[in-house]
Amino acid sequence: MKLKNILNKCISEIKIINKNDFLINGISIDSRKVKNNFIFGAIKGNTYNGENFIQDLLNFRNLVIIFSSKSELNLEYKKYKNIVFIQVEDVRFFISEVCSFFFPNNIHKKLAITGTNGKTSISFYAQQIWKKQNMNGAIVGTLGVNYKKSISSKSNLTTPDVITIHKTLGKLTKLGCKRVILEASSIGLEQQRLCPIKFDVVGFTNLTSDHLDYHKSIENYKFAKSLLFTNHVKKNSLAVVNTDSKFSSFFINLCKKNNLKILDYGRKAKFLRIKKIKRIKDCFETKIVFRSKETSLMIDCCSKFEIYNMLCSLIMVYNTSLTSNKLEIIKKLKNPNGRLEKVYDKKGIKVFIDYAHTPDAISEVLSSLKKITLGKLFLVFGCGGDRDKSKRNLMTREAIKYSDLIIITDDNPRFEKSQDIVNDMINGLDSKDLKKIKIIKNRKEAIRNAVNLISKGDILVVAGKGHEDYQIIKNKKIKFSDKKIAKEFLRIK
């Protein structure tokens, strides 16, 4: 595509230096990936400022460099005639516009889900529902890009960078994909990775403490989540909201302000009201009031939050065409890898792998499993390094409420000292609580130790990493799977 054709489609105001027109072969926001005939977006992030790398790119031919109109760059622009310099007010948004034209897609139904917990499960359930209805659909999120039974790519980000997102949607279109559900993280929304996409259905699950290292306050975090309901909706978009979140009224009022039709779920909901959830052996009897009719379902799962996620996925897929008989589908839904995944159930022992890495998620998982624990409840977990420190101690305190023994270990320590992370986790605990805790920093040894301790009637949860098949120590990504390690030691037991 020619540069002139791309720029003519953009709505952003631009100032062009060294005006020229040539074929564009690619877009990058990483200076190391730039080639001739590329567009480079000099984005200023928390760690790096793309403008600092412009000097390294001045020998390329037919290059377009996008930078901020507020920049203090001091370059002799006219000297570099092979380079088109474009100043814009918002580099992130402009790059997203360019990507949407360079990687066009024709996916006719786009869904997005946001919230602290549940995004991956809801996306995974939605895809299963589509499959059961012989409709094709893709997931873009924490588990990578999942389409037609295969994961075509993996990402370290819940919401991939803006170029990857648009490139992915373009590829999915070529593969014949007609619908997609994306996980919208707060950071991804704030960094405009989903711009300028407008979604047909947007959903909100819950909001609890997370990513405060980035957002600094719960208010900023909430605002970032709310961008899905303001910047990414159309006139006829639908909003699916969990009324049982303490922040539900904020999102419902926001939807009303933007004239979005609300399809809510929960105990206080109008569209799909959960009247009662009662555990009966290994199942939950769930009574739902829907379209003025009460429906009772027996759902084989371990927690109430799984039921909430399943119901959310049903509403997101079917919207106003949801009928009472379609509620039965949730009985057939399976959890994604690493989401309260039962990896062992023999000799009266149950072992689960879960991704829980927030105080609320740890609380939900452990409180649910405690109710079915005949013996003791064991937990192996840690907290990620170079991430939100404010939640570490809160996670430990939630774990103590329900666990009989906790083994604190390394998660992804990154560049932080593991002892500093442990100190944050156990800070201020009294001697009674500390008696419940063992510290084994080597994660493999921690899992082995836990497996050796459990006996008939016990449940073991290995939490924090879920589906991840690696461990990040400093700048190295080492192969490591909680599931694989746990199974290895359980075979010996």
pLDDT tens digits, one per residue of 335-363: 999 999 999 999 999 999 999 999 999 99
* Numbers of helices and strands, H then E, in the chain: 15, 24
DSSP 260: P
Helix, strand, or coil (residue 426): helix
Whether the pLDDT of residue 149 is over 70: the answer is no
- CA pair distance 265, 58, nearest whole angstrom: 55
- Range list of β-strands (E), 382-469: 405-408, 437-439, 459-463
Where does the chain hold its CATH 3.40.1190.10 domain(s)?
A: 103-332
- pLDDT reported for residue 486: 97
pLDDT digits (tens, 9 = 90+) for 233-243: 999 999 999 99
Q: How much is the pLDDT for 153?
A: 57
For the domain covering 3-101, report its CATH number.
3.40.1390.10
> Where along the chain do the CATH 3.90.190.20 domains lie?
341-492
Q: Which CATH entry fits the domain spanning 103-332: 3.40.1190.10, 3.40.50.720, 3.40.30.10, 1.20.120.330?
A: 3.40.1190.10
The per-residue pLDDT of the chain, averaged, comes to 94
pLDDT score of 150 more than 80: no
> Distance between CA atoms of 386 and 440, rounded to whole angstroms?
20
Residue 148 predicted with pLDDT over 90: no
pLDDT at residue 393 is higher than 70: yes
Predicted pLDDT at 46: 78
Q: Categorize the per-residue pLDDT at 330 as very low, low, confident or very high, splitting at 50, 70 and 90.
A: very high
Residues forming a β-bridge with 345: 350
In the structure, what pLDDT confidence band is assigned to residue 158 with cuts at 50, 70 and 90? Answer: confident
User: What is the residue whose two structure tokens read 């039965």?
Assistant: 328
Residue whose tokens read 């006829």: 236
Instruction: Determine the topology of domain 341-492 in CATH.
Output: Protein-Tyrosine Phosphatase; Chain A (3.90.190)
Write out the DSSP string of 16-78: EES----B--EEESSGGG--TTEEEE--B-SS-BGGGGGGGGTT-SSEEEEEETT------GG
Question: Where exactly does CATH 3.40.1390.10 map onto the chain?
Answer: 3-101
Q: What are phi and psi of 291, to 5 degrees?
A: 50, 45
Cα 363 to Cα 144, 339, 366, 369, 442: the distances in Å are 26, 14, 5, 10, 24
Mean pLDDT of 23-29: 97
User: How does pLDDT run across 82-101, given as a tens digit for each residue?
Assistant: 999 999 999 999 999 999 99
Closest CA to 34 of 61, 71, 10, 14: 61
pLDDT (mean) for 139-149: 88
Q: Which pTM value belongs to this model?
A: 0.90
Is there a contact between 366 and 377 (Cβ–Cβ < 8 Å)? yes
Contact 307, 275 (CB under 8 A): no
